[in-house]
Amino acid sequence: MREQDNRRHERDSLFLVADLRVERDGAPYSVKLRNVSDAGIMAEGPMRLTRGGTVWIDLPNIGEVAGTVAWTAGNRCGIAFDQEIDASEVRFPLADEDAPIEPRADLENHRRD
């Protein structure tokens, strides 16, 4: 039987790398982002964290976000953001409005006439 999931925010499963700092000006740890929601992330990495501690994570396409360690289990942790983000921006790169749009060569042979 599957446990009920009481989390309030939808999560995107992914595999990205980000920098996490345990001290504001400390050296970053490279962590793997396993999932992300508007309210937090699950990360995997070599650092030792304490539940309730403050961390800073540099998220792709968003920048540095402060959060609180919600849980730890081995080399994984859950971090609740201090302020919600738009999780879709982490998963998908932002478009460069000035970049030209070019057709994909791999689709050329798949066109229907």
Q: What are the extents of the domains in the chain? A: 12-93
Other Cβ atoms less than 10 A from the Cβ of 78: the count is 20
* pLDDT for the residue 3: 44
Q: How far apart are CA 83 and CA 67, in angstroms?
A: 8
* Residue carrying the six token digits 């609180």: 68
CATH 2.40.10.220 is held by the domain 12-93 = yes
Q: Are 68 and 54 in contact (CB under 8 A)?
A: yes
pLDDT in tens, 36-92: 999 999 999 999 999 999 999 999 999 999 999 999 999 999 999 999 999 989 877
pTM for the full predicted model: 0.70
Count of H helices and E strands in the chain? 1, 6
